[in-house]
Structure 1
C-alpha cells in the first residue's frame, strides 16, 4: 500500500524520522509530503525542508538507501486531493499524546468524509514525546542544546541560519 506521511517538517525532528522509518518498514511505498501550513510560520523554505528530510533519511540506518520512500512538496490545497492525485489511500500520522489525538482525529474524520482517505495513527516513540518542531526552534533560538532531538543535517542547518 502507498501511504503519505504529511507534515510541515519545519524542521524534521527525530520523532518525525522515527515515524517515517517505521512507515518505510511497514508499507510498500511512502511519500513524505512537505505541506505548507498557513497557521505555522516557516523557518525554512519547503524545498530546503525537503532537502533536510532527504539528508536525514540518508543519515539514518533504518532509511538509508530505502527505495520505497520519496519526498514531495505540496503547495496548498487539500491533503485528500493530493493523496487522490498520487493514488495513496492512506496517511500515516504520529501521535505523541492525547493532545495530538484530539487535534488529529477531527481532520482524519473529515478526510474520510471527503474522500474515503484512511488515517493510520502510529504511537510516537516516548523518547521524543516532548519534541516538536516549534519547541526545537524556540530552544535553539534561545541557545539551548537540541543535540539528539534533530538529525545532524538539521542541527547544522539551524546553526548556519543563526
Structure 2
C-alpha cells in the first residue's frame, strides 16, 4: 500500500487545500492529512478545531483519507505513518522557492521519502489561509475561498474575537 502525507496548519482549511487533498488522494492508496501547528503563526483555531474541520470536509471525498495531528519533524511523522510520498501544493513562484528548499532539507533527513508537488487549480491559486483570515477580520466575504461550513466557523470566530476596522 502506497501512503502519502499532506501536511499543513489548515487554519482554516481552504478550497485550495481541498483541491490538493482530492488530487493527492488519487496518487496514493492512503493519504494522511497531517495537521500541525506552526510556531511562527498565530492560529485562529485550536488544533482540535482544525482537526474537526478537516475531518468533516475530507469525509465527503471518499477513499482512504486519514486526518492525524502531529507535532514533530515532518519526515519523522512521514516515517511513523509509513509514507513514501509527501504531497505539497504550489500556488506561485514564491511557494516554489520555499518548497524547493524544504524538499531538499527533507531529502537530506530521510531520502526514502519523495516530495511531490501539485499545482493548485488556476482558480484557487491566490487562496491562502492567512489572507482568508485577514479578509474575514475586516468584514470581507470569504465564501469563494473556503467550504460553506468553514466560512460559517470563521465568521463566528471573527464575531467572537471582534472585527478589525470597526
Q: TM-score normalised by the shorter chain: which range applies?
A: over 0.9
1:150 partner SS = coil
Query: 2:104 matched to 1:109?
Result: yes
2:150 is aligned, of 151, 154, 158, to 154
User: Aligned match of 2:75 in 68, 74, 80?
Assistant: 80
How far did 1:123 drift?
0.6
**Structure 2: which 5+ residue stretches go unaligned?**
160-166
Q: Please, what TM-score do these two structures have when normalized by structure 1?
A: 0.93
* Corresponding residue of 1:11: 12
- 2:118 counterpart residue number: 122
Q: Say yes or no: does 1:43 pair with 2:44.
A: yes
Cα deviation, residue 67, structure 1: 3.5
Shift of 1:115: 0.7
Max Rg structure = 2
Contact 1:12 1:49 (C-alpha < 8 Å) held by counterparts? yes
Moved over 4 A (4+): none
TM-score under structure 2 length normalisation: 0.90
1:30: which partner in 2? 31
Contact in 1 for aligned 2:25/2:63 (Cα 8 Å): no
Q: Distance in 2 between matches of 1:83 and 1:13?
A: 23
Q: Does the Cα contact within 8 Å between 1:55 and 1:153 map onto a contact in 2?
A: no
| Cα displacement string for residues 19-51 of structure 1 (whole angstroms, at most 9, x for unaligned residues) | 000111221000000011111111101111011
